[in-house]
Amino acid sequence: MSSKEKKSVTILTESQLSSRAFKDEAYEFYKEVRKSQPLYPLSLGALGKGWLISRYDDAIYLLKNEKLKKNYENVFTAKEKRPALLKNEESLTKHMLNSDPPDHNRLRTLVQKAFTHRMILQLEDKIQHIADSLLDKVQPNKFMNLVDDYAFPLPIIVISEMLGIPLEDRQKFRVWSQAIIDFSDAPERLQENDHLLGEFVEYLESLVRKKRREPAGDLISALIQAESEGTQLSTEELYSMIMLLIVAGHETTVNLITNMTYALMCHGDQFEKLRQQPDLMNSAIEEALRFHSPVELTTIRWTAEPFILHGQEIKRKDVIIISLASANRDEKIFPNADIFDIERKNNRHIAFGHGNHFCLGAQLARLEAKIAISTLLRRCPNIQLKGEKEQMKWKGNFLMRALEELPLSF
């Protein structure tokens, strides 16, 4: 989308937000609308009318606003209820990311003990072993595609082991995950995604049957136990929760590792500073989360009660989508917001969200990124981008900021 086109556009569509062209120019677009139109109109097809939120303070306010609901059943009456866009939708959407209190609290409690500080720290040696094993495979070649060879397999192995999922199935998750996060109402895409989600549901049914027969000390076995007790978890919630943990358990971290490496490759002074001062790693990770937020746009929130924002009435049933990427580049909060600075102070980014739905796996993602990047820089000190940075392509994707590939030589 060119600057001329942006000025003439009054409403953005889902297909525009999901396009590679938008991703390429998103930061300039966000900068413009933060100044002139912080409540930007959207047309979301079957989902109806919506608004894109670009400012940090608005994002904080709305992420905690009880007038916004994640579960559309808490907004729409039975007569107003929209038809399911996907045949397999009901089996995969009854998770905590799509729920409101008290259901959200109940569902989150069932899994949060697996993501405590103590439990995450126990994974450190395992993550380190995975990182070293992955680099052992590619280091003799002096080349790798960071996404396929390192950033994707590392977190998918970790979450698979936590859940008790066979590692040989992990490549399937990549395809299924893309279908889930591919927010599109294009008929041909809907049909393809519905087919893939049907495969995912069949896989989950088979996996759960096996875990019922042979329970183990993994997270899926614990969730099945909660489901068998009846009042804590329904069968649909069980499938949905497993799906969410698989997808959210790796997708964000893939982007964090990739986007951080890309930012370092594009900012040689910061890369050299981090190599010379590895104690800056934690600060560098926070800056990477802010600079190229792994989750660009939040999942949708529905307006349950009308309210006014920037003089505009937000009506009941309107959709709210918050750009975490834009909020994290807000000049009023972050001085020199478009500069990648691994020593940035008071970095109050919201890359992992805010409020009730703050990412449960944030600490795990940070640890995986710390080990992955530290190991990469230590073992491949001469690493560099293979090709020009202008050749790197952002995926056309609604929710995520993700590179298609990141070729590196060392």
Dump pLDDT digits (tens) for 301-314.
Answer: 999 999 999 999 99
> Given the structure tokens 């990770």, which residue do they identify?
285
**Position 78 pLDDT exceeds 90:** no
> Which tokens sit at 302?
């529905």
pLDDT digits (tens, 9 = 90+) for 110-148: 898 889 898 999 999 999 999 999 999 999 999 999 999
Mean pLDDT of 176-204: 79
Average pLDDT, rounded, for the chain? 91
Report whether pLDDT(7) > 80: no
SS3 label, residue 301: strand
Q: Per-residue pLDDT for 84 more than 80?
A: no
Q: What is the pLDDT of residue 2?
A: 43
Which of 300, 192, 197, 191 has the alpha carbon at shortest distance from 246? 197
Least reliable range by pLDDT among 298-302, 343-347, 396-400: 396-400
Give 373-384 pLDDT, tens digit per residue. 999 999 999 999
Report the pLDDT value the prediction gives residue 163, as an integer from 0 to 100: 92
Domains of the chain: 3-409 (1.10.630.10)
Query: What pLDDT does 86 receive?
Result: 57
**252/340 Cα distance (integer angstroms):** 20
Backbone angles phi, psi at 400, to 5 degrees: -105, 155
Residue 253 confidence (pLDDT): 97
- Interatomic CA distance for residues 177 and 341, integer angstroms: 32
Q: Which amino acid is at 303?
A: T
Mean pLDDT for the stretch of residues 276-302:
97
Task: For residue 338, give both structure tokens.
Answer: 């478009």
Q: Which residues does residue 144 pair with via DSSP β-bridges, in sequence order? A: 408
Alpha-helix runs per DSSP H in 52-169: 56-63, 89-92, 103-112, 117-121, 124-138, 146, 153-163
